[in-house]
Every structure is written in structure tokens, then in C-alpha cells.
Amino acid sequence: MALMCGRYGRLSRFERIAQMLALKVRNEAGELAPSYNIAPGTLQPVIVGTREGAVLRPLLWGLVPYWAKDPKKGPRPINAQCETAAEKPMFRKLLSSRRCLVPADWFYEWKALPSGKQPYVVQLASREPFFIGGLWDTWDYGQADAVASFTVLTCPANELAATIHDRMPVIVAPQDAARWLDRNEHDVSDLLQPFPAEEMTAYPVGTRVNSADNDDPDVIEPVR
């Protein structure tokens, strides 16, 4: 079973993703294939800010900090609470200057019921793609075995998401993307807020999504 904000989906191509942002994005991730059930431990296209501008790059989901002795050992967090990220050594510097945007079309969350956990798709009411706020780092930078990785930020759930789970991913509005990626913009605490509930929708889906091996359109089909 996935952890909080431990799965999401993406159908939108690079052109659509770049079109939504008020800044130029260079594509280093290649052609984006549809992904209906994205799980941690996989390489995913993520937008990062560099001296040359915004770049879409493949990053590993599960943060490997630059100071790790071995990238295959130790914790590799897939998410971080935005309320405490500035206090924790693993996230503090990244929150200040290494933020990223994770393109998504929906995320999954599981609601605890007496009969078990019911998965839900949560997306924008407009069905537009959106950007999950995250943090990224590179282990062994400049070396052949370097690992670039990311984690997503979570915040308290809005009124809609709270009917399913008490937390949700931080969603960065397109108009805030340039500021979010700016490595010289150290304080973005005002952006670490739940996305407006009235602009989102959710519906239950079948339990096939519980297995990351199931990555096809059937996993987002609504169920009663």
C-alpha cells in the first residue's frame, strides 16, 4: 500500500506542461509517455531551476541527500511535511534553494474504511495538469554514478482532500512557478498552503491501483 502522496499520474506531454508556465523550460527528459500509476523508486520528469533557467529532467523519486555515504543505504524519503522541512537537516537547505516542480494530472490517496482502504483519484476540477512542489538534490555531483533525486512536499489537507486523508501534496500555481524555482528566493513559506478545495475534485477507483505493476487507463476508472 502506498504512503501518503505515494502515487500520482501524468498524461500531459512536455508541450502542454511548458505551455502552462510563464517561463521557458528546456526538455532533457525526452518524450513523456503516459504514466497512470507512478510509484516511488522510479525516474520521473521533474522541473528544476538552474543558472541556465528551468529544465525538465529525469529524477529518482526518493531523496538521496548529497551527504549520504551510500545512495543505496539509509532513508530515502518520498515526501516531507512542509511545516517542519525548514527545521530538518535533510530538507532545510533544499527548501531554501533547491525546490522543484513535479508535473502531474492527478494524485492518489487512500481513505480508511471499515471494509479496508479505498483508493481515490484527486485532481483539478478543470482536469488541467498541475505542479506538485518538491525538493531535489544530487548525490556525487559531477561523477559518473551521480544520483539526482526528489521528494514531494505535503501540507494539511483542504476541505475536499480531508474527506479522504488529513494531508495532501503542496500544489504550486503556474503563476508562482518562476518564484518557486528561483534559487535566490529563499522564503516561499506563503506558497506552502493547501490548494483551494473548490478548484479540485475526487472520485473512488478500484484496488488495482494498489499494485504499481498496474499502469494502464483502467486504474483511474471510477467505481461506486
Domain limits at 39? 8-107+125-196
Average of per-residue pLDDT across 124-129: 97
Q: Residue 215: which of 45, 37, 44, 39 has the closest Cα?
A: 37
Q: Residue 168 domain-assigned?
A: yes
| High-pLDDT (> 90) share of the chain, % | 86
Model pLDDT for residues 179-217, shown as the tens digit of each residue:
999 999 999 999 999 999 999 999 999 999 999 999 999
C-alpha dihedral sign at 214, 63, 193, 128: negative
Please list the active-site residues. 5, 109
Q: Is residue 207 part of a domain?
A: no
Is the pLDDT at 3 greater than 70, yes or no? no
CA–CA separation, 128 vs 111, rounded Å? 24
Structural domain contains residue 151: yes
Predicted confidence band of residue 80 (pLDDT cuts 50, 70, 90): very high
For the segment 74-84, the average pLDDT, to the nearest whole number, is 94
Tell whether the model's pLDDT for residue 221 goes beyond 60: yes
pTM score, whole prediction: 0.95
Residue 212 lies in a domain: no
Query: How many structural domains compose the chain?
Result: 1
**Amino acid 69: pLDDT:** 84
Can you give the pLDDT at residue 2?
Answer: 42
Based on its alpha-carbon atoms, the radius of gyration of the chain, rounded to whole angstroms, reads: 17
169 C-beta neighbours (distance < 10 Å), count: 28
CATH number at residue 95: 3.90.1680.10
Confidence (pLDDT) at 171 = 98
- End-to-end Cα separation, the chain, in angstroms: 21
With 50 as the cut, is the pLDDT of residue 92 above it? yes
- Report pLDDT digits (tens) over 26-68: 999 999 999 999 999 999 999 999 777 899 999 999 999 888 8
